[in-house]
A and B are shown apart, each in its own frame.
Chain A
Amino acid sequence: MTTEPVDELKPHPETSSLTGTPILEVEDLKMYFPVKSSGFLRRTIGHVQAVDGVSFQVRSGSSLGLVGESGCGKSTTGRLITRLYEPTAGRIEFDGRDIANLSERELHPLRRDIQMIFQDPYTSLNPRHTVGAIVGAPLAIHKVVPKDKILARVQELLEIVGLNPEHYNRYPHEFSGGQRQRIGIARALTLQPKLLVADEPVSALDVSIQAQVVNLLQDLQREFNIAFLFVAHDLAIVRHFCPEIAVMYLGKIVEIGDRETLYARPNHPYTQALLSAVPDVKQAKVGGRRERIRLEGDLPSPINPPSGCRFRTRCPIAQDICARVEPPLLQVGPTHKVACHFPGEVGKHPEKPITPRLLGVDDSGMPDLAAGPATDLPTGPGYSDTWFDLEHNTMGRA
Chain B
Amino acid sequence: MSDTSTKHDAFLRVEDLRVHFPTADGVVKATDGLSFELARGKTLGIVGESGSGKSVSSSAILGLHRGTRAQVSGQILLEDVDLLQLSDEEMRRRRGLDVAMIFQDPLSAMHPYYTVGNQLVEAYRVHNNVSKKAARTRAIEMLERVGIPQPDRRVDDYPHQFSGGMRQRAMIAMGLINNPGLLIADEPTTALDVTVQAQILDLLQDLQREFNSAIIIITHDLGVVAEMADQVLVMYAGKAVEYGPTKELLVRPEMPYTWGLLSSVPDVTADTDSKLIPIPGNPPSLLNPPSGCAFHPRCPHKDKVPGRLCWTVQPELVPGRQGMGHLKRCHLPDPDQVYALEVLPEFDPELASELAQARIPDPAADAAAGPAAGPAAGTAAGTATPDTADERDAQ
Residues of A within 8 A of B (CB): 69-70, 176-179, 206-212, 214-215, 218, 233, 235-237, 239-240, 243, 259, 263, 273-275, 277-285, 287-290, 292, 294-295, 297-299
Report yes or no: A70 in contact with B277, Cβ–Cβ below 8 A: no
Q: Is the CB of B283 within 8 A of A215?
A: no
Q: Flag whether B226 is at the interface (Cβ < 8 A).
A: yes
Q: Among the listed stretches B215-223, B336-344, B379-387, which one makes contact with chain A, having 4 or more residues with CB under 8 Å of it?
A: B215-223
With A209-B282, A273-B195, A292-B198: A259-B272 Cβ-Cβ less than 8 Å = yes
Check if A280 sits within 8 Å of B223, measured CB to CB: yes
Contact between chains at A284 and B250 (CB < 8 Å): yes
Contact between chains at A281 and B262 (CB < 8 Å): yes
Shortest CB distance A240–B (Å): 4
* 9-residue interface stretch from B29-37, B110-118, B263-271, B308-316: B263-271
CB-nearest residue of chain A relative to B249? A284
**Distance in Å: Cβ of B10 to nearest Cβ of chain A:** 21
Note all chain A residues with C-beta closer than 8 A to B275. 215, 218
* A397 CB, nearest partner CB in chain B, Å: 28
Please determine whether B198 and A277 come into contact, CB atoms closer than 8 angstroms: yes
Given contacts A275-B268, A281-B223, A299-B163, contact A211 B279 (CB under 8 A): yes
Q: In the complex, what residues of A have CB within 8 A of residue B282's CB?
A: 176, 178-179, 209
Within the complex, the shortest CB–CB distance from A177 to chain B, in Å, comes to: 8
A277/B163 contact (C-beta < 8 A), A207-B220, A240-B276 known: no
In the complex, whether B165 has a CB less than 8 A from a CB of chain A is yes
Q: How far is the CA of A298 from the CA of B164 in the complex (A)?
A: 9
Q: Is the interface of B mostly helix, strand, loop or mixed?
A: helix
Scan B242-275; emit 1 where CB is below 8 A from any A CB, else 0: 0000110111000000001111111111101001
B195 and A236 within 8 A (CB) = no
A selection of 27 A-B contacts at a CB cut-off of 8 Å is A69-B196, A206-B50, A206-B220, A211-B277, A212-B278, A233-B193, A236-B267, A236-B270, A240-B270, A240-B276, A263-B268, A278-B194, A278-B268, A279-B221, A279-B227, A280-B227, A280-B267, A281-B262, A282-B351, A283-B223, A283-B227, A284-B246, A285-B250, A289-B202, A290-B227, A297-B149, A298-B163
Contact A207 B49 (CB under 8 A): yes
Interface residues of B (CB under 8 A from A): 49-50, 149, 163-166, 193-199, 201-202, 205, 220-228, 246-247, 249-251, 260-270, 272, 275-280, 282-283, 351
Q: How far is the CA of A178 from the CA of B282 in the complex (A)?
A: 8
Tell me whether A236 and B198 are in contact in the complex, defined as CB-CB below 8 angstroms, given that A179-B282, A215-B276 are known contacts.
no
Chain B residue contacts of A290, Cβ below 8 A: 227
In the complex, which of the residues B202, B205, B278 has the most CB atoms of chain A within 10 Å of its own CB atom? B278
Given contacts A211-B277, A239-B266, 4 further A-B contacts (CB under 8 A): A207-B264, A209-B278, A275-B268, A279-B227
* Contact A235/B268 with A69-B194, A288-B227 known, Cβ cut-off 8 Å: yes
Task: List chain A residues, Cβ under 8 A from B198.
Answer: 277, 279, 292, 294-295
- Residues of chain A lying within 8 A (CB to CB) of residue B195: 69, 273-274, 277, 295
Provide the bound-state CA to CA distance between A210 and B264, in Å: 8
| Given A206-B49, A280-B226, A288-B227: A215 touches B278 (CB 8 Å cut-off) | yes
Contact A294 B276 (CB under 8 A): no
Which among B149, B227, B269 has the greatest number of chain A C-beta atoms within 10 A?
B227
Check A211 against B197 for contact (C-beta < 8 Å): no
CB-nearest residue of chain A relative to B264?
A211
Interface of chain A, helix or strand or loop or mixed?
helix
Q: Considering the complex, give the chain B residue whose CB is closest to the CB of A69.
A: B193
Find chain A residues with CB under 8 A from B272 CB.
239-240, 243, 259
Distance in angstroms from B249 CB to nearest chain A CB is 8
| Shortest beta-carbon distance from A353 to chain B in Å | 24
A298 B166 Cβ-Cβ under 8 A: yes
10 closest cross-chain pairs (CB), A and B: A279-B223, A211-B278, A284-B250, A211-B264, A69-B193, A208-B279, A211-B276, A240-B266, A284-B226, A206-B49
Which residues of the other chain, A, contact B205 by a CB distance below 8 angstroms?
Answer: 289
Residues of B contacting A279 with CB < 8 Å?
197-198, 201, 221, 223-224, 226-227
* Contact between chains at B201 and A289 (CB < 8 Å): yes
Query: What separation, in Å, do the CA atoms of A212 and B251 have in the docked complex?
Result: 24
Interchain CB contact under 8 A, A208 and B251: no
Interchain nearest-CB distance for A106 vs B (Å): 37
Which residues of B lie under 8 Å from residue A281 when comparing CB positions? 222-223, 226, 250, 262, 265, 267
Closest A residue to B283 using CB positions? A206
With A209-B278, A279-B221, A280-B226 as contacts: A239 and B268 at CB distance below 8 Å? yes
B-side contacts of A207, CB under 8 Å: 49, 220-221, 261, 264-265
- Please state if A211 and B265 are interface contacts (CB–CB under 8 Å): yes
CB distance from B357 to the nearest CB of A (A): 14
Q: Which residues of B contact A285 (CB under 8 A)?
A: 247, 250-251
CB distance from B241 to the nearest CB of A (A): 13
Closest to B162 in A: A298
The residue on B at minimum CB distance from A178 is B282
Instruction: Enumerate chain A residues within 8 angstroms of B201, measured Cβ to Cβ.
Output: 279, 289
Q: Which residues of B have CB within 8 Å of A239? A: 266, 268, 272
Q: Which B residues touch A273, using CB under 8 A?
A: 195
State the Cβ distance, B87 to closest chain A Cβ, in Å. Answer: 38
Cβ contacts under 8 Å, A289 to chain B: 201-202, 205, 227-228
Once the chains are docked, how many angstroms separate the CA of A310 from the CA of B15?
Answer: 53
* Min C-beta distance of A277 to chain B, whole Å: 4
Q: For the complex formed, measure the closest distance between the CB of A158 and the CB atoms of chain B, giving whole angstroms.
A: 16
What are the residues of chain A within 8 A of B277 when measuring CB–CB?
Answer: 211
Contacts of A263 in B (CB 8 A): 268-269
Question: CA A295 – CA B202 in complex, angstroms?
Answer: 12
Distance from B301 Cβ to chain A, minimum over Cβ atoms (Å): 15
**Which residues of chain B are within 8 angstroms of A215 by Cβ–Cβ distance?**
275-276, 278
Q: Name B165's contact: one of A211, A294, A298 (CB within 8 Å).
A: A298
A14 (CB) vs chain B CBs: closest residue: B272
Write out the residue numbers on chain A whose beta carbons fall within 8 Å of the beta carbon of B224: 279
A236 x B268 contact (CB < 8 A): yes
| Residues A294 and B226 in contact, CB atoms below 8 Å apart | no
Contacts of A280 in B (CB 8 A): 223, 226-227, 267-268
The answer to whether B197 touches A277, judged by C-beta atoms less than 8 angstroms apart, is: yes
